[in-house]
Structures are given as C-alpha cells and as structure tokens.
Chain A
Amino acid sequence: EVQLVESGGGLVQPGGSLRLSCEGSGFIFSTNWMTWVRQAPGKGLEWVANIKQDASQLYYVESVQGRFTISRDNAKNSLYLQMNSLRAEDTAVYYCARVRLGSDVFDVWGHGTMVTVSS
C-alpha cells in the first residue's frame, strides 16, 4: 500500500523552529517530486513547497521563502520541512504529498501533522 506518514508537529513559540518529517512507503520514493501543503484552522489549502527527485529544484510559496527549507533523503524514503522564524500565521495542519509522475498533481497524501505557533 502506498503511504505517507508525517511527524514532527507540535507547539512552538513565535520565532522558534520545527522540523517536519514525512516517510513514504509502498512506492519508489526517489522517482517522484514531493510537496508540502498546509491548512490553517478554518482556512483553505495552501501549497507550501516542492522538491524535485534529486533535490536539484526547490520551490516555495512567497510567505515562507527564506524561513522554510524543503529537503529529502531518498535513501531513507523521507521528506523534510525545516521551519524557522515561525509566526502565528504558520499555525496549520501540514500535509506531505506525492507529485504524480508525469504530472503536477498530488495523488497521494499523508494524514497531516499539526503545527501550532503560540506563546
């Protein structure tokens, strides 16, 4: 079964840091672009970042540029999101998702991990 499992969420103070992880299984992790998408409480979905198979291309939504870093370790079938200088508006459920081969769409999603930025 193809599966993505996120971890690393929690409560952090404004200005703090957190590292999210996402482990994939049931597919050849290294063959797909991967992505992070978030949903703030009561809000819609917001794409956060994408990473190419070999990590040679990284893209971010403007609001996290310079604060968040997406990375991956294909040997560990894992995707990461390093979040620094966190703000209250970063509070959200963070989903990792697989980018479908040959397409731009997100065909497999994890169940998400909650990040709360509050003092």
Chain B
Amino acid sequence: VMTQSPLSLSVTPGQPASISCKSSRSLLYTDGKTYVHWYLHKAGQPPQLLIHELSNRFSGVPDRFSGSGSGTDFTLQISRVEAEDVGVYYCAQSIQLYTFGQGTKLEIK
C-alpha cells in the first residue's frame, strides 16, 4: 500500500512544494535500487513520468523536481512551483507488481 500526504495542496507560484509517500514495505531491492516512482497527471492529458527509481528525473523533466527518501518513506519536492505544475501527483511502487498512491492534487493559489 502506498499512502500519500497531503491529498491536496495549494501553492503560490515561486514557492516550494513537498509531497510525502509512505510504503507499507521497503522498496529497496537487492540490486540497490529503490523502486518508487512519481507521475503527474494533468487534466485532459495522459499521465507523465517525472521521477523513476527514487531520484532519477525522466528526460525533459525540469530540475525543479526532485525525489528523495529511503526504505519506506519518500518525498517529491518542487523547488519553485510554476502554473504548469498543476495536476495530480502519484507515487508508485514496482517492487511487487505495481501500485499507485491515492494521488495529491496540486493547485495554484
């Protein structure tokens, strides 16, 4: 089970934002990789990959997005929120099949 918090947040442009994701089991695998990923789902668009294996930004993702954490506790941070960042953010685990968190809705103040 992947549990996200908060479920929604409202951020002023230029301010940072942080989303927490907790897993019911360790996502650290024997190969040394941590199998937690982050996606953004904007309205009217398909979901898009942001971060893979804990902290690796996907191609084209701005460096204001970063992933961190270890074991069962993870965080997605946006250093300076922009208007285009609105949408629902999901963490996901792939160590055992695939599970998404409930989602965190980001709005702009």
Contact = CB atoms under 8 A, between A and B. Distances in A.
Interface residues of A, number: 22
Given A104-B94, A107-B58, A45 B52 contact: no
Interface in B30-73: 35, 37, 39, 41, 45-49, 52-53, 58
B101 A109 contact: no
Nearest to B47: A109
B58 A45 contact: no
A88 interface: no
A15 to B, nearest CB: 27
A44 B52 contact: no
A104 B52 CA distance: 9
B35 A104 contact: yes
Contact of B98 (A44, A100, A104, A110): A104
Interface of A: 35, 37, 39, 44-47, 50, 59, 61, 95, 97, 100, 103-107, 109-112
